[in-house]
Copies of this chain bind each other. A is one copy, B any other.
């Protein structure tokens, strides 16, 4: 008997009709002989409504109370889904985070799952009961409700799959898989059959909004295969109608490049004429750490006269005001010009096969140059190359790169 965790996102449970359709999919998996656990998100729009209430009361609200408010949407769906399954003759019960419990860190609003105590749930699964767990939530060491941040139900699902030793975690969503690029920009983008954890991690953190980054991290660490598939299409024939995110070793044909991702969520900061002395960079980036701001791409060049350097880096766009504020107070930057630019896009080429292939970067630079696109910053890792461009080139660059690596024809 194969054990699966099935997760249904907000659009898959948008209203009671959608919940019924999701229940039919769950019933079909049970009819196939699988042992099932379910994780659900809030009905589409509900979490936004709850966040809006919090904002109306106070933009600077207590994160513990924010969590106590916004976690309720998932409780509601969990109860309704249990009812919808029972209606189909399936023994089912809802679980709220505190009932399991799903133990989390105390970082409210962005908590991490520490442990899922499955003893009681496991016992009930053994008796044929289908657990329906409210995603996105858990409890802190102080027994307060915590939430996992946007997309957190994916993480709940993968963590539950790991805790239950499930063979796979199926994430039902409003897209039918992971694509080589955003299909809204590249109409002929191709759905990937399989993608490695590492690639998915880069894609998720680089703007492909299919899975929460943290869920991929847990899947990779715990070796849980994750399938992304559509809740609006019927599975016909294929065992894996979506995209399977899995270990590199399980992917026979590894592509050099598997996807083009982009994000407009970053902003660029340039420090012009920084004193070229030991400890200056540590002072600058130390001030960012103190302000709890993540710094992404960093580039440093020696200036013309050799006594000063120019440093450029990126931060999340939402962190830019705080970052500039912290830099202005940084004594190492006395006399340094601080420039910032929000009008940028980071475009990335991702592929596990590029480790063993030369010329991947060259193809990228050439394709962008042919379209007359200037590269502002470059950063590379083993399996991705990212460049920073003027925001207006975002779509053009993504389409040019998709074509240059021949992604649609494969």
Contacts and interface: CB of A to CB of B under 8 A. Distances in A.
B54 A96 contact: no
Given A19-B57, A57-B19, A82 B65 contact: yes
Interface string A251-287: 0000000000000000000000000000000000000
B99 A86 contact: no
B65 A69 contact: no
A96 B68 contact: yes
Interface in A49-86: 50, 53-54, 56-58, 61-62, 64-69, 72-73, 75-76, 78-80, 82-84, 86
Nearest to A16: B56
A88 to B, nearest CB: 10
B75 A68 contact: yes
A143 interface: yes
A80 B68 CA distance: 9
Interface of A: 16, 19-20, 50, 53-54, 56-58, 61-62, 64-69, 72-73, 75-76, 78-80, 82-84, 86-87, 93-94, 96, 98-99, 143-145
Given A69-B75, A75-B69, A76-B72, A83 B96 contact: no
B87 A58 contact: yes
A111 to B, nearest CB: 16
A20 B56 CA distance: 10
Contacts of A50: 76
A40 to B, nearest CB: 12
A131 to B, nearest CB: 13
12 contacts: A20-B57, A57-B83, A57-B84, A62-B83, A64-B93, A65-B86, A67-B79, A68-B79, A69-B83, A72-B73, A96-B145, A99-B144
B99 A57 contact: no
B98 A83 contact: no
Given A16-B56, A57-B84, 10 more contacts: A20-B57, A58-B83, A61-B83, A65-B82, A66-B79, A67-B79, A69-B80, A69-B83, A72-B76, A99-B143
Given A86-B62, A98-B98, A99-B143, A57 B69 contact: no
Across the A-B interface, give the 7 residue pairs with the lowest CB-CB distance, nearest first.
Answer: A69-B79, A68-B79, A72-B72, A16-B56, A65-B79, A58-B87, A57-B83
A62 B84 CA distance: 10
A145 B143 CA distance: 16
B80 A16 contact: no
Nearest to A68: B79
A101 to B, nearest CB: 10
Nearest to A144: B99
Q: Which of A62, A65, A69 has the most CB of B within 10 A?
A: A65
B76 A58 contact: no
Contact of A83 (B20, B65, B79, B143): B65
A65 B53 contact: no
A80 B66 CA distance: 8
A57 B20 CA distance: 7
Nearest to A88: B58
A26 to B, nearest CB: 14
B87 A57 contact: yes
A57 B144 CA distance: 30
Q: Which of A67, A72, A79, A98 has the most CB of B within 10 A?
A: A79
Contact of A82 (B62, B75, B93, B99): B62
Contacts of A94: 65, 68
A146 B56 CA distance: 30
Given A62-B86, A65-B79, A65-B86, A57 B16 contact: yes
